[in-house]
Structure 1
Amino acid sequence: MSTLVILAHPDLEHSRVNKRWRQALLEHPAEITVHELYEEYHNWEIDVAKEQGLLEAHDLIIFQFPLYWYSYPPLLKKWLDDVFTHGWAYGSNGTRLRGKKLGIAVSIGDKKENYLPAGSVSFTVDEVITPFRASAIHVGAIALPYFAVFGASFQASDDEIEQSAAEYVAYITRHRLPTPSPAQ
């Protein structure tokens, strides 16, 4: 199963987590393709046919980004709006993503305990990423559980970030395995 990581970080060089995750992924070029949106589309003019071709060529697609105000970076939103078109991604003839696995890997600046119902955010990460899950379901893809590291802005130590990079590669490896068929 081929893996495409759509990396959307507007300032990757100053990132501790996403930069380290990218380095870990690049150590697996035969299994993982890393596609950096902000590097590819600094002018925000997305080549829709190219992007759709990349998606069609891969079975596992991971969106990697920092959580920004409980959402994703703006270029990733534009990319989704431009690339997931009617007749290609959804609609009666839009079946190109059907059956593909879609996941997200997100760096979160805040503490994990703040993403509990009683925490300061008042929402869980699953609730915050509902639009991604809904989009995956809408296009007929399989929505995977998220992968996250918390405290990315100020709390995570270098050792924790290093460990998260290894865990991220393991997350991808685990989801690269075929989905078991339901028992008959």
Structure 2
Amino acid sequence: MRTLVILIHPNFGESIVNKLWLKELEQSPERYFIHNLHSEYPDGILDIQKEQELIESYDHIVFQFPFYWFNCPPLFKTWLDEVLTYGWAYGSQSGYKMSNKKIGLAISAGIDEQEYSADGKYKYTLEQLLAPFEVTFNYIKADYQGFYAYYGIEQDSSVETIKNSVIPYVQFIETI
């Protein structure tokens, strides 16, 4: 089983977390295929057919992105809007091409985990804020597996601390 990891990070070159995570996956190319949307489409114009064919060739898919402004990067929203089309992802007997595909999210969040709680500064958990993704994947009959998040990069960006997230990140991907 090979897992497709779709990276959606507009500032990947600056991301210590995402670079360390992908560096680990790159050691096992027989197990992981990394698809960097911003590198593939620097102009932001997606090749819809290519994206759909890529999705069709994998049963395990991880969308990896930074969580800022309490949402995903714009290119991921564009991807969802343009790739998950009627007749392919939903809405017809020939659709639902993502049916039963296992989907997970890998997220780097700048804010500390305790701030994402009913008692925290932002009053919502990350799980609650990610609910639209879960609902979207359920709508197209994919098998949403949840998310892995690294919290607090704004407070502690030391490489040593971030390295501690690599093993749990890979373990999460392996469970998808």
Give the TM-score category using the shorter length. Answer: over 0.9
Q: Which amino acid aligns with 2:128?
A: E
Q: Which amino acid aligns with 1:86?
A: Y
1:178 equivalent in structure 2: none
SS in 2 for 1:145: strand
Instruction: After the TM superposition, list the runs of 4 or more consecutive aligned residues in structure 1 that deviate by more than 2 angstroms.
Output: none
2:89 equivalent in structure 1: 89
1:107-157 deviations in whole A, cap 9, x for unaligned? Answer: 000011001111001000110101110111000011112100001223243
**Unaligned regions of 5+ residues in structure 1, if any?**
176-184
**Displacement of 1:160 after TM fit?**
2.4
1:17 equivalent in structure 2: 17
- Given that 1:16 and 1:152 are in contact with CA atoms closer than 8 Å, whether structure 2 keeps it comes out as no
User: Distance between the aligned counterparts of 2:31 and 2:2, measured in 1?
Assistant: 6
- Given that 1:150 and 1:156 are in contact with CA atoms closer than 8 Å, whether structure 2 keeps it comes out as no
User: Distance between the aligned counterparts of 1:14 and 1:153, measured in 2?
Assistant: 13
SS in 1 for 2:153: coil
2:136 equivalent in structure 1: 135
1:158 has 2:152 as partner: no
Aligned-residue Cα RMSD (Å) equals: 1.0
Return 164-173 or 37-46, whichever deviates more. Answer: 164-173
**Unaligned regions of 5+ residues in structure 2, if any?**
none
2:32 equivalent in structure 1: 32
User: Distance between the aligned counterparts of 2:80 and 2:112, measured in 1?
Assistant: 28
How many percent of aligned residue pairs carry the same amino acid? Answer: 39
Alignment size in residue pairs: 175
* Aligned pairs (5 A) from 1:143-182: 143-175=144-176
2:77 equivalent in structure 1: 77
SS in 1 for 2:28: coil
Return 76-85 or 156-165, whichever deviates more. Answer: 156-165
